[in-house]
Amino acid sequence: MPRKYTLCLTHRCNLRCSYCYIDKRAGRMSIEVADRIVESIFGSPPPGDDDGVDIGFFGGEPLLEFDLLKEIVGRIERHPNFDRKTVTLSVVSNGTLLSEAMADYLAEHGVVLCLSCDGPPHVQDRFRKQRNGRASSARVVRAIEIARRRLPLFMVNAVYRPETLDELPATVDFLSGLGARQIYLNPDAGAPWRREDAAKLAGLYAGIGDWYVRAYLRNDLHFVSLIDSKIAVILRGGYGASERCQMGSREIAFTAEGRVYPCERLIGDGKGGRHCLGSIQDGRLPRAAVSFCTDAAARAESPCAACGIREYCMNWCGCSNYLATGSYDRVSPFLCASERAAVAAAARVYERLDAACPGVFSDHLAGKPSAMSRMNGRDAASGDRTSSPNACGGGQSAATAGFFREP
């Protein structure tokens, strides 16, 4: 049974991002379709294994249909099989419509907000313009400020392309300056990446790692995806089976009309096509929803099979592979270079900080690293460590000493 469900509330959007993978058109999810989806999730048997269930609201721009979002959240919360301890609700938004009232509702109902912001204004406004061609950055900055004031936790996702690759360190610094502490960095998988772009990655990621260390040592804790996620994977000895791409089996997405896709990134125009698995209108989730991708590292003929970091690499991300190469299980050269650079940068960060503050990344063994968990764990571990960055003391790195220094 799937554990991650994405509901595309509308295919409309008030931005015209040039790299968006969702076609814009009229249409909103009806409450009848939403009811079918909710019942398919919470019907018999009730959901919830050890991993819990994730339900995400998506678009288009889902805040265009905020009343619908509230109605669906209410129906989820009223379902007899709903258990707040095992269900995570989230919404991905461009942020331009976010109000304080919306943020307060999300906080009250435990809906985690992820805002899209690609970086400083000259980066954000290059590819993420409003429908009238005007800049969107001022409105997104305001959204981040609202989220910082009103929400206990929020995330910011920044997409980068060849044209903005050099701005990555500045993007992290900019988002941090606005108050973001959960920062996700994701390449546009379908962009025309070049060999010279890949050659820059090691230096750029290492620079972000240096920034991360400096921030940590002044007690300004962050989650930065390409650092924290890789540290977690290194400490656990690789990605577990449940962490790898399971689109179409444990992960599905619904269009506004109720069509079922293996991943929201493959919806396209949402009218059917090769990726469509069926429709919730048929009364239940389609039994044809089986995994679309084979782990690239597991194929004997794959270059990944003999790679020294294959267990720490996201070569298994079927949608990224498809968008880049047209195959669910063929990795692009750019992704390969990015993963190598990320593993190396994360290992170096771990070695430096674990030497200064032994055990500082112990929370990553649980698989859910975050700035908030590290703040709580650090306070509990040593009462006055947060009062002075020099109070960490000495120590030797253990888990990653010499780890893949030259991947």
pLDDT digits (tens, 9 = 90+) for 315-360: 888 888 888 999 888 899 999 999 999 999 999 999 999 999 888 8
The DSSP secondary-structure symbol of 47 reads P
Of 343, 339, 303, nearest in space to 198 by CA: 339
Report the alpha-carbon distance of residue 317 to residue 102 in Å, rounded: 32
**Pairwise CA distance, residues 295 & 212, whole Å:** 31
What whole-number distance in Å separates Cα of residue 398 and Cα of residue 403? 10
User: Do residues 204 and 169 touch, judged by C-beta distance below 8 A?
Assistant: yes
Q: CA 303, CA 270: separation in Å to the nearest integer? A: 33
Q: CA torsion sign, 130 to 134 to 140 to 143?
A: negative
With the C-alpha atoms ordered 67, 51, 315, 349, is the resulting torsion angle positive or negative? positive
Question: 199: exposed, middle or buried (C-beta count within 10 Å: 0-12, 13-18, 19+)?
Answer: exposed
Secondary structure, 3-state, 228-277: HHHHHHHHHCCCCHHHCCCECCCEEEECCCCEEECCHHHCECCCCCCCCC
Q: Is the pLDDT of residue 290 over 80?
A: no
**95: nearest Cα among 55, 56, 145:** 145
Tell me what percent of the residues of the chain surpass a pLDDT of 70: 82
Mean pLDDT to the nearest integer, 279-293: 64
What pLDDT band is residue 286 in, cutting at 50, 70 and 90? low
- Domain range list for the chain: 189-239+298-407
Angle, CA 56 vertex, CA 123 and CA 277 arms, to 5°:
105
Cα 326 to chain centroid distance, Å, stands at: 22
Q: Does 25 score more than 90 pLDDT?
A: no
Q: CA 193, CA 103: separation in Å to the nearest integer?
A: 37
pTM as predicted: 0.86
- CA-to-CA distance for 138 and 155, rounded, in angstroms? 18
* pLDDT of residue 131 exceeding 60: yes
Q: What is the mean pLDDT of the chain?
A: 85
The sign of the torsion formed by the CA atoms of 66, 70, 76, 77 equals positive
Please report the pLDDT score of residue 303 as a whole number.
80
